Amino acid sequence: MTQNQIQHKIRDNWNKVLDSIFLIMRVYISVTVFAAFLLPSCVAGFTERRCAMHDPNEEEKEKALRVMELHKNDDETRTQKFTVPTYWHTINKGKDGKLLDATIAKSIDILNKAFTDFTFDVKDITTTDNGSYWGIKPGSSGERSMKNKLRQGGCDALNIYSTDLVSGLLGWATFPDWCAGSQKDDGVVILYSSVPGGTAAPYNLGDTLTHEVGHWLGLYHTFEGGCNGDGDQVDDTPAVKTSNSGCPKKIDSCPNDDGKDLVENFMDYTDDSCMDSFTKGQETRMTAFWKEYRSDGSPPPPNPPTPNPPTPNPPTTSKNPTQMMNVQITRLSSKLF
Ligand SMILES: [Zn+2]
């Protein structure tokens, strides 16, 4: 090999090395740029639960306490649940947001398992392809037109809107006492991808809907008011300093208050896989709010007959009509408006 050939060979090899270095750099830069653009849109907003429920003010809190007081001696010997006529509105934008009937059925099933005193009975499912109802936030014109167009039923009817929400929000709801004054606004809005099997991990097991329906039936967050005051106004939920996330074990954020944080409660901000229950006190509160603001007045169905009903006692003197009327008037006047 001549001197020239040797030099040529060395140059060739050096060029190959440089090519390889440039190729590696190009791949690295491409991957970095791709990740920088793509990743935030995939994960933004889902590093924490974000419910856009408005914080109750002092007047609302006092009114809520009066409702609890009014219903504290209610006869709760019934064993049948209250039936909630339920309307599911799926909003999509082209191919985005569409839900299978099986997914909606699974969502309702999760809801029915979570609530002890209520059965959610689906009356209608609607599907609307409308970009102006997509990417909405509370109080927006998109939300208003969506609800004006689609809402069905009275204040006892649960209207669920599944759509895309802005700012990483997972959902929001309206409190029961708002319904009489603005029935069209009443309902629950959830992020479409928070349904079971959706893409909003770790909030994709269907519990966002349960959380929002908790608000719809009068519940506050367990961390409402922090460590001071009445908190969420429920006696058997210990005070929580601030929202919990993930699934922290054995956390006691308000040591001066009895009991550890109920991180598994549906009304905290923990992951779907962490939350699994309401307390008895929360169930009592939801029943009181249902009766005060949402029930159409019809009682729950009668208890099923026992297989061997006891022999009835002989009739005693019947109630006179005036007594019966007084009972009805008392019941009506106990309503808060
Ligand atoms: Zn909430």
Position with higher pLDDT, 112 vs 320: 112
| pLDDT, position 251 | 96
Question: Average model confidence (pLDDT) for the chain?
Answer: 83
Specify the range with the lowest mean pLDDT, choosing from 11-15, 37-41, 208-212, 273-277: 37-41
- How do strand 171-173 and strand 118-129 relate by DSSP bridges? unpaired
Average pLDDT over residues 278-288: 96
Indicate whether 213 pLDDT > 60. yes
Q: Chain centroid to CA 165: how far?
A: 14
Q: Which residues are catalytic?
A: 212
Contacts for 34 with CB less than 8 Å, ≥ 6 apart:
none
| pLDDT, position 301 | 56
pTM: 0.76
The span from the CA of 327 to the CA of 332, in Å, is 9
* Coil, helix or strand at residue 13: helix
Q: Which stretches of the chain are assigned E, i.e. beta strand?
A: 82-92, 118-129, 158-163, 171-173, 188-191
| pLDDT, position 335 | 32
The rounded Å distance from CA 209 to ligand 1 centre is: 10
Task: Using a pLDDT cut of 90, give the percent of the chain over it.
Answer: 67
The span from the CA of 96 to the CA of 117, in Å, is 35
Which CA distances in Å does 98 have to 29, 131, 202, 213, 214?
A: 36, 13, 20, 22, 25
Indicate whether 14 pLDDT > 60. no
| pLDDT, position 245 | 95
- Size (the chain), residues: 337
The rounded Å distance from CA 265 to ligand 1 centre is: 12
Q: Give the position of tokens 């004054």.
A: 181
86 contacts 185 by C-beta, under 8 angstroms: no
The span from the CA of 145 to the CA of 71, in Å, is 36
269 contacts 224 by C-beta, under 8 angstroms: no
The span from the CA of 137 to the CA of 255, in Å, is 36
Indicate whether 87 pLDDT > 90. yes
258 contacts 40 by C-beta, under 8 angstroms: no
The rounded Å distance from CA 150 to ligand 1 centre is: 23
The span from the CA of 92 to the CA of 278, in Å, is 32
The rounded Å distance from CA 251 to ligand 1 centre is: 20
Average pLDDT over residues 125-146: 97
Indicate whether 195 pLDDT > 80. yes
Structure tokens at 164: 């895309």
Indicate whether 131 pLDDT > 70. yes
